Amino acid sequence: MDILTEDSLLIKNYVSGDEKALEFLIAKHNQRLSSFIYSKVNNRDITEDIFQDTFIKVIKTLRRGAYNEEGKFLPWVMRIAHNLIIDHFRKTSRMPMFEGADSFDIFSLIGDDKLNAERQLIKDQIDCDLEVLVAELPVDQREVLIMRIYKDMSFKEISENTGVSINTALGRMRYALINLRKIIEQHNIVLTN
């Protein structure tokens, strides 16, 4: 079939089941429609997307038998494309697209704050070691340290719970930390992640 065949004939053939007619229709208007879209959006990928969406609408309308613009196929397709371009700009103004360049990686800014499997294992090991070390502390110091660090209680709450003054609680916490450091140094324990 000649590529210059009338649009109306191609549409008629396509509607009556000739898939080849669609191929001719797309080939016939590909460049003109793509250039029209590209002149507005200035981006090849977006041009492809809008071109595709335009023809999806065209295919659906033709197949549903809802097309009735005899002889004005291209202006109709252009209008669909134009509306999709407007939709695209509305969408991008609401949610601007960020384009990463080769020299800049978006993942250097946003990242997963969760630990990876290896670091999680190390953290678990450290927590486990620390528990053993805390168990070595004198009872009064251990009590204050657990309340402060693990239960996230304030020194006021700790003093109320243990029946000692805030200053005593603060002092016990200080000694607990000093003693922990001593034990770590004495046994050459490395606690890092």
Partner 1 sequence: MGKIYATESDKHRSAKASPSTVKFLLDYSKALEITEANGLQFESNLN
Residues that bind partner 1 (CB under 8 A): 19, 22-23, 26-27, 30-31, 33-35, 37-39, 44, 47-48, 51-52, 55-56, 59-60, 63-64
The helix-helix angle for 166-186 and 117-135 (nearest 10°) equals 110
Nearer to partner 1, 20 or 79 (CB): 20
Q: Which residue has the tokens 């997307």?
A: 49
Please compute Rg for the chain using Cα positions: 36
Nearer to partner 1, 23 or 124 (CB): 23
Copy the structure tokens of residue 1.
């079939």
Nearer to partner 1, 30 or 125 (CB): 30
Element (H, E) at 101: none
**In the bound complex, what is the minimum distance in angstroms from residue 46's beta carbon to partner 1?**
11
**In the bound complex, what is the minimum distance in angstroms from residue 106's beta carbon to partner 1?**
26
**In the bound complex, what is the minimum distance in angstroms from residue 80's beta carbon to partner 1?**
14
Nearer to partner 1, 34 or 168 (CB): 34
- Collapsed DSSP state (helix, strand, coil) of residue 72: coil
Cα angle 139, 175, 162 (rounded to 5 degrees) comes to 45
